[in-house]
Structure formats: C-alpha cells, structure tokens
C-alpha cells in the first residue's frame, strides 16, 4: 500500500495511515498526541502564532494539515514571517486563470461606462421642427451649431476666454455634417453672415435665425436655403468648447500663418502646436485680424472641431481612464442635442467628426459669390447660387465625386 511521505496527506487517508508507519495516531488512547500539557487523548491545542500554525500543518498526523496531496513549505523570511511558498502549489497555479475573466469583464464594461458618462451629461431640447419639411434623402445630415451666448459664463470666464460682453444668443458657428450611405463624411461650413431668407423675418444674416426663433427656426432656415433635410441637431457653447479641449489635454493645430487678435486674446505662431482650451477657442473665433474675415474663420473652426474629435478618440485619451472619464463627462456636458437623438446617433456624429479629420473626409465651405455684399443688416456673404445648388444636390444623392471636385476647387 502506498503511503504519503511525511508532509503530504492524501484525500481519504485516516489519521493513522497518513502519519506513516510507526507514528501514533492523533488522539489514540495511551499514546502521546503532542499535547504540551502531557494529557492523554483529545486533539492538540490550537496554534496561537503564525509560526505554530505553519509548523502544525507540516506535523505528521496533525488535524491542521491541508487536505489533498499538497505540500506546505515552511521556509521563512527574515523576522520569522512565512514566505509566499507557504501557499498550496495548486492555489498558486489557479489564480492567473481566475484573473482572466475579470480582466475581460473590465474591458467590456470600460467603453460602456464612458458612454454612460457622456450620455447622462447631455442637454436635450426639441430642436427639429414639425410640419412641411424636405423629403428624406440618403445618408444622415447633422446641423452643428456653436452658440455665442455668454449667459452661462462668469465675469472671470469671459475675461479669460476673451468672449466680450455681448448679450443675446446667436450662432457663432454653423456647419452641416453629412454622412453618406457608404460611410464617408462631409463637413460643410455655412458662414454666419450668409444672407438668406429667414421664414417670417425676411432676408437677414443666417445667424440671426436662432435669435429670432431658437433651434427650430435655425433648422427650418437651413432646410429652406439648402433643400436638405436635417436629421439631427448638435449644439455647443463657448465655455463648454474650451472645457472639452482642456479635458483631452489640448489639441494639435497647425496654423498656416501667425495670428494675433487682441479681441480673441490670442497670439499664435505659424506651424503645428498644441493649444489649450482658451487658445483653441480664440483661434477658432478670431476674424478681425484675418484678412479673409468670416471665410478664414470657418476654416479654422473646422480644423479645431476635427482635432477635438480625433484627440478624444485617440489611444492617448481612451487608453488612460483618468483622462478618458473627465473627457467623456466634459464632452457630454458640452453638447445640446435634439430630444430624439439616440446613443447610436450621437456615436455616429462623433465618429463622423473624427473621419473628417482623416484622409477619407471632405471639408469645405458653401461656395461664395460675394463676400462683401452690402445689405440693410450690414456687410454680408452671398452664396454662389449655381455652385451651392450643385453642392446641395450632390449631398442629397450622396454624389461624393462631385462634392470632392467642388472642395478641390476651393483649395486650388
């Protein structure tokens, strides 16, 4: 019959058989049990110190020996502390396998937690109008608005961001993000001074539509001027814009020329650089120091928005939870969306903005016929109606080749 060597114990062995030949069983009458008191029979006293416990586990026939064919190593570290080798060998081999499913669960939960942080911070409004509207078209078109309201900014924030003291709410930025059925992204800037008909208010600069009737009138004005159906609505404010940039650790922007604007509180050099929130906001809003005025500003706005989307979804942000969580929270808080916007719709918007910053995206401005049109509302921007109509028709039909050709004509 096989007997375990001292220090081993097989499951099912009796105390006597596990102890080995010639070793008295624990608690056998008339035999010593190792009880220091010298009494006969009964179990030995419970160990009182770690050292006694580890010694009792190795004692032949001890009731404190571990079950199963496992060996306990009682080597000690300096100071008498049992070493890590005191763990059962089988337990040491099992813990990595137990850790794997935990890590998989954390990896699956991580993006859901970030999405929840962003989603719960959104502001929702009834932005899309009802009634007579353009017919549905292929793809999805977002109206992206940047509000110039200072209502939610303190005096110190206005000074730090260089926003001035203007009152009321107008649209400082207006863009169309069109996602084609094939997955391509097209970002079209609408100059804020574009002179168009505003339903119920005659002709005026397009940024006045929001001031006259809020988001619904702004959407209706854009639909009437372009013939496109707006499928979703996204808006951000001045302070929120800067907060998102700071939350992702700044964005990399590449000015083609040096730009100094005292009203926007910026003085940036030519060339690629990382901008913080206030600097990025000033760079996107500056127009008085730009010889191209509003047309130069819309190009910088597209550049900064694309840089924000690209940085937000980069490994340097998503791979660091302590940066990704604040960025998700700031991003959600920064946005106001239509009350019908879905999580998938919001995700498509963010991914579309990121795609625009890549090589497969198209960035352009509505074709301009006259950038200095004199009107009763002051100097305004007049579209090139023929080329603009060609652009909007191509967007309706997802004609990406025509859109790319029109965009290339603006950069040539």
pLDDT in tens, 63-84: 656 555 444 444 444 554 454 4
Cβ atoms 70, 89 nearer than 8 A: yes
Q: Order the strands of the 123-125 sheet from edge to edge.
A: 123-125, 335-338, 232-236, 140-147, 171-179, 185-189, 361-365
With H, G, I as helix, E, B as strand and everything else as coil, classify residue 37: coil
Cα–Cα distance between 330 and 150 in angstroms, integer?
18
pLDDT computed for residue 187 by the predictor: 93
Selection from 122, 129, 107 nearest residue 347 by Cα: 122
User: Is the pLDDT confidence value at 298 over 90?
Assistant: no
State the pLDDT confidence band at 368, using cuts at 50, 70 and 90. Answer: very high
Cβ atoms 52, 36 nearer than 8 A: no
Selection from 322, 326, 280 nearest residue 303 by Cα: 280
pLDDT computed for residue 72 by the predictor: 46
Please tell me what DSSP assigns to residue 167. -
Longest CA–CA separation in the chain, Å: 119
Average pLDDT over residues 390-394: 96
pLDDT computed for residue 101 by the predictor: 77
Cα–Cα distance between 175 and 304 in angstroms, integer?
13
User: Is the pLDDT confidence value at 20 over 60?
Assistant: no
pLDDT computed for residue 390 by the predictor: 96
User: Is the pLDDT confidence value at 37 over 60?
Assistant: no
Q: Where in the chain is the domain with CATH 3.40.630.190?
A: 121-411
The answer for residues whose C-beta is within 8 angstroms of residue 12's C-beta and 6 or more apart is none
pLDDT computed for residue 57 by the predictor: 63
Average pLDDT over residues 174-178: 94
Stretch among 3-7, 25-29, 150-154, 406-410 having the lowest mean pLDDT: 25-29
pLDDT computed for residue 392 by the predictor: 96
Average pLDDT over residues 296-301: 85
Q: Is the pTM of this model over 0.85?
A: no
Cα separations (Å) of 389 from 149, 225, 295, 385? 31, 10, 19, 6
With H, G, I as helix, E, B as strand and everything else as coil, classify residue 116: helix
The third-level CATH classification (topology) of the domain covering 121-411 is Aminopeptidase (3.40.630)
Stretch among 31-35, 242-246, 337-341 having the lowest mean pLDDT: 31-35
Cβ atoms 26, 44 nearer than 8 A: yes
Mean pLDDT of all residues in the chain?
78
φ and ψ at 81, to 5 degrees?
Answer: -85, 130
User: Is the pLDDT confidence value at 222 over 70?
Assistant: yes
Provide the token pair at 59. 């004692």
Q: Residue with structure tokens 């100071």?
A: 79
């Amino acid at each position: 019959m096989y007997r375990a060597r001292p220090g081993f114990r097989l499951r099912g062995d009796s105390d006597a058989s596990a102890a080995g030949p010639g070793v008295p069983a624990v608690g056998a009458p008339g035999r010593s049990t190792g009880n220091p008191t010298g009494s006969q029979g009964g179990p030995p006293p419970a160990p009182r110190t770690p050292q006694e416990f580890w010694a009792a586990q190795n004692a032949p026939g001890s009731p404190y020996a571990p079950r199963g064919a496992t060996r306990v190593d009682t080597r000690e570290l300096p100071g008498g502390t049992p070493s890590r080798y005191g763990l059962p060998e089988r337990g040491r081999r099992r813990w990595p396998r137990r850790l794997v499913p935990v890590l998989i669960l954390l990896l699956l939960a991580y993006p859901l937690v970030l999405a929840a942080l962003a989603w719960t911070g959104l502001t929702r409004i009834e932005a899309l109008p009802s009634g007579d509207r353009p017919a549905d078209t292929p793809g999805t078109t977002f109206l992206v608005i940047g509000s110039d309201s200072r209502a939610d900014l303190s005096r110190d924030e206005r000074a730090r961001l260089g926003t001035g003291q203007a009152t009321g709410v107008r649209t400082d930025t207006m863009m169309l993000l069109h996602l084609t059925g094939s997955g391509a992204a097209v970002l079209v800037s609408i100059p804020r001074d574009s002179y168009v008909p505003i339903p119920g208010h005659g002709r005026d600069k397009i940024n006045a539509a929001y001031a006259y009737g809020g988001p619904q009138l702004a959407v209706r004005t854009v639909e009437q001027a372009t013939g496109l159906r707006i499928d979703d609505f996204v808006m951000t404010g001045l302070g929120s814009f800067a907060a998102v940039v700071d939350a992702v650790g700044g964005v990399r922007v590449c000015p083609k020329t040096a730009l100094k604007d005292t009203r926007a509180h910026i003085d940036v050099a030519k060339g690629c650089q990382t901008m913080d929130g206030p600097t990025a906001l000033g760079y996107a809003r500056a127009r008085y120091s730009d010889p191209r005025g509003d047309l130069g500003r819309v190009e910088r706005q597209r550049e900064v928005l694309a840089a924000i989307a690209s940085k937000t979804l980069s490994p340097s942000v998503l791979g660091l939870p302590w940066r990704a969580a604040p960025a998700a929270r700031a991003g959600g808080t920064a946005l106001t969306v239509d009350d019908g916007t879905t999580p998938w719709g919001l995700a498509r918007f963010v991914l579309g903005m990121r795609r625009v910053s890549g090589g497969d995206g198209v960035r352009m401005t509505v074709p301009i016929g006259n950038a200095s049109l004199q009107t009763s509302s002051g100097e305004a921007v007049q579209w090139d109606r023929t080329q603009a109509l060609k652009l909007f028709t191509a967007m309706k039909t997802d004609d990406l080749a025509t859109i790319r050709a029109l965009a290339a004509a603006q950069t040539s």
